[in-house]
């Protein structure tokens, strides 16, 4: 429902070629309390006025020279072709009622009119018009909200897809019968499943699948996984293995959850999976490298080649400079006497060519806050996988590639008792 003040704030246009009729209607509307009333004696101006003010009600006389009320209503259809045109016809010709309604009028009042009747019809038409406008505004808001939610949904789907790809090797979905209905990534290769047809996108049913006899699954683990699926149970990071045809072992990890519709009916499974062999090997290699890095007695600092920011430090370096790995990003190199690294950019990047080495002595601030003599060996390395480069690619080309890509600087330091030649960095 509308509040009374909303109705009284409606915009009304009075159209009549007789000034006396216009004055009468203006006074009547003012006495009721309508505050936004405009009038015109010229029917040819109605369309222009309506385009400018978007009236909530037009009180229109039918019998007018030059342009009668029927012509006005026809012209208004061009102004609002798909909208609710709020015309209340007031005329001394009651016989014209049906024709006026067919022409587009929403209501009709005969002259001479009764004030109560006219007041009631005006109030009813305004309420309908204002509710119509409110509904139109609500539809616009709803449409905009739907568009925003659609964008958010697409963004959420994109984030989910990106997260799935980053956190796993494949994503899969099955229907209630166990048929694959969606698969992203090398799911069939990982599971040792080969399609009888070449188009993997068309894999829908077990009849189309052929499980290789050359691979031997760990039957106990495989059976336990299928027991979970058969019991509609979720499973997280379940690990199972198989022996491949070449005798090597493949270790897989899979997570899945059952899907139910709104009525609680089971509709299938979805989940993610990954192969652990490479990840475990990489984790093991990383652990070994860290242990070797920390076992070196000399202090080793690793810097980003472009920004010269400190990336890593071994135990000996942390002890020498009283720093921790958790606070590497906040280390002030100037505090330790290493403020001139950026000015030596070209000198350091040239060390990549031919695996060069720059050795010098410097005075650096140690853990006690005092400057002491330190012997430094500088090396630089391009972060390039040499195995992916052709044999004819020179170290100079790799150096040039590093200048535009990732490269690192490694400083190996040893405390010395005395320095005969001082060649400090700051």
246 plus 327 within the same structural domain: no
Contacts of 79 (CB under 8 A, 6+ apart): 47, 50, 51, 85
Instruction: Specify whether 262 is located in the same domain as 304.
Output: no
**Residue 19 structural domain:** 4-138
The reply to whether 163 falls in a domain is no
404 has pLDDT over 50: no
pLDDT bracket for residue 37 (50, 70, 90): very high
- Do 110 and 211 belong to one domain? no
> pTM to 2 decimals?
0.40
Query: What pLDDT, on the 0 to 100 scale, is given for residue 320?
Result: 83
Average pLDDT estimate for 164-191: 79
For the stretch 18-36, pLDDT in tens is 999 999 999 999 999 999 9
393: pLDDT strictly greater than 60 = no
In a domain, 227, yes or no: yes
For residues 169 and 272, what is the distance between their CA atoms, to the nearest angstrom?
Answer: 7
What pLDDT is recorded for position 41?
Answer: 94
426 within some domain: no
Whether 406 and 306 map to the same domain: the answer is yes
Does residue 204 sit in the same domain as residue 253?
yes
Per-residue pLDDT, averaged over 101-105, amounts to 87
Q: Is the pLDDT of residue 211 over 60?
A: no
Q: Same structural domain for residues 338 and 386?
A: yes
CATH number for the domain that contains residue 70: 3.40.50.2300
CATH number at residue 251: 3.30.450.20
Statement: residue 246 has pLDDT above 50:
yes
Q: Are residues 233 and 322 both part of a single domain?
A: no
Average pLDDT taken over every residue of the chain:
80
Query: In terms of domains, do 86 and 117 share one?
Result: yes
Residue 11: predicted pLDDT:
92
- Taking only the tens place, the pLDDT of each residue in 331-364 is 777 767 776 777 888 888 888 866 678 888 888 8
Place 166 in a pLDDT band, splitting at 50, 70 and 90.
low
Q: Which residue did the predictor score with more confidence, 217 or 59?
A: 59
Average pLDDT over residues 86-91: 89
Q: How wide is the angle at C-alpha 278 spanned by C-alphas 276 and 280, nearest 5°?
A: 60
227 and 120 assigned to the same domain: no
Are residues 129 and 13 located together in one domain of the fold?
A: yes
Mean pLDDT of 83-102: 84
Least confident of 147-151, 286-290, 292-296, 329-333: 329-333
List the single range of 124-133, 189-198, 402-411 with lowest mean pLDDT: 189-198
> Mean pLDDT, to the nearest integer, of 129-144?
87
Residue 279: per-residue pLDDT: 60
Query: Are 256 and 320 within one domain?
Result: no
How crowded is residue 245: how many other Cβ atoms within 10 Å of its Cβ?
11
What is the rounded average pLDDT of the residues 201-227? 61
pLDDT in tens, 267-291: 999 988 888 876 666 667 788 888 8
Residues 303-321: pLDDT tens digits?
888 888 888 999 998 888 8
The packing angle between helices 115-167 and 19-32, to 10°, is: 70
For residue 153, tell me if it sits in a domain: no
**Per-residue pLDDT averaged across 244-258, rounded?**
84
In a domain, 287, yes or no: no
Quote the tokens at residue 421.
């030649």
Residues 272 and 303 in one domain: no
Q: What is the pLDDT of residue 419?
A: 47
Q: Which of 277, 307, 322 is the last residue of a domain?
A: 277
Q: How far apart are CA 143 and CA 146, in angstroms?
A: 5
pLDDT at 397 over 70: no
Number of structural domains found in the chain: 3
Last residue of a domain, one of 87, 120, 138: 138
What pLDDT score was predicted for residue 46?
93
**Does residue 424 sit within a domain?**
no
Tell me which residue of 200, 209, 141 sits closest to 170, measured CA to CA: 200
Instruction: Specify if 366 maps to a domain.
Output: yes
| pLDDT reading at 390 higher than 50 | no
In a domain, 213, yes or no: yes
Q: What distance in Å separates the CA atoms of residue 193 and residue 179, rounded to the nearest whole number?
A: 13
Q: Please determine, for residue 162, whether its predicted confidence score (pLDDT) is greater than 80.
A: no
């Amino acid at each position: 429902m509308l509040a009374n003040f909303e109705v009284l704030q409606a915009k009304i246009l009075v159209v009549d070629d007789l000034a006396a009729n216009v004055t009468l209607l203006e006074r009547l509307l003012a006495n009721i309390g309508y505050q936004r009333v405009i009038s015109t004696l010229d029917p040819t101006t109605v369309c222009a006025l309506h385009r400018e003010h978007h009236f909530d009600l037009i009180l229109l006389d039918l019998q007018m020279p030059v342009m009668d009320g029927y012509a006005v209503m026809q012209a208004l259809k061009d102004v609002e072709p798909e909208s609710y045109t709020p015309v209340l016809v007031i005329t001394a010709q009651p016989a014209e009622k049906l024709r006026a309604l067919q022409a587009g009028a929403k209501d009709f009042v005969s002259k001479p009119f009764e004030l109560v009747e006219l007041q009631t019809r005006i109030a009813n038409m305004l309420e309908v018009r204002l509710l119509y406008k409110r509904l139109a505004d609500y539809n616009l808001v709803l449409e905009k909200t739907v568009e925003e939610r659609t964008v958010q949904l697409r963004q959420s789907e994109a984030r989910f897809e990106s997260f799935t790809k980053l956190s796993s090797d494949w994503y899969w979905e099955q229907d209630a019968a166990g048929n694959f209905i969606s698969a992203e990534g090398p799911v069939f290769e990982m599971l040792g499943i080969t399609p009888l047809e070449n188009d993997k996108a068309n894999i829908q049913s077990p009849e189309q699948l052929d499980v290789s006899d050359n691979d031997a699954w760990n039957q106990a683990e495989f059976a336990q996984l299928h027991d979970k699926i058969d019991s509609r149970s979720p499973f997280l990071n379940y690990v199972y293995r198989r022996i491949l045809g070449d005798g090597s072992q493949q270790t897989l990890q899979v997570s899945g959850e059952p899907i139910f519709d709104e009525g609680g009916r089971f509709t299938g499974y979805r989940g993610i999976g990954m192969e652990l062999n490479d990840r475990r090997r990489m984790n093991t290699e990383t652990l070994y490298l860290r242990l070797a890095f920390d076992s070196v007695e000399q202090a080793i600092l690793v810097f980003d080649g472009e920004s010269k920011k400190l990336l890593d430090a071994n135990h000996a370096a942390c002890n020498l400079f009283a720093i921790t790995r958790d606070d590497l990003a906040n280390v002030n190199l100037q505090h330790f006497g290493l403020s001139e690294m950026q000015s030596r950019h070209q000198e350091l990047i040239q060390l990549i060519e031919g695996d060069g080495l720059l050795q010098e002595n410097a005075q650096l601030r140690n853990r006690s806050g005092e400057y002491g003599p330190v012997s430094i060996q500088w090396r630089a390395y391009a972060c390039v996988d040499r195995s992916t480069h052709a044999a004819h690619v020179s170290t100079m080309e790799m150096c040039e590639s590093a200048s535009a890509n990732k490269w690192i600087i490694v400083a190996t330091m040893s405390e010395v008792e005395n320095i005969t030649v001082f060649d400090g960095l700051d």
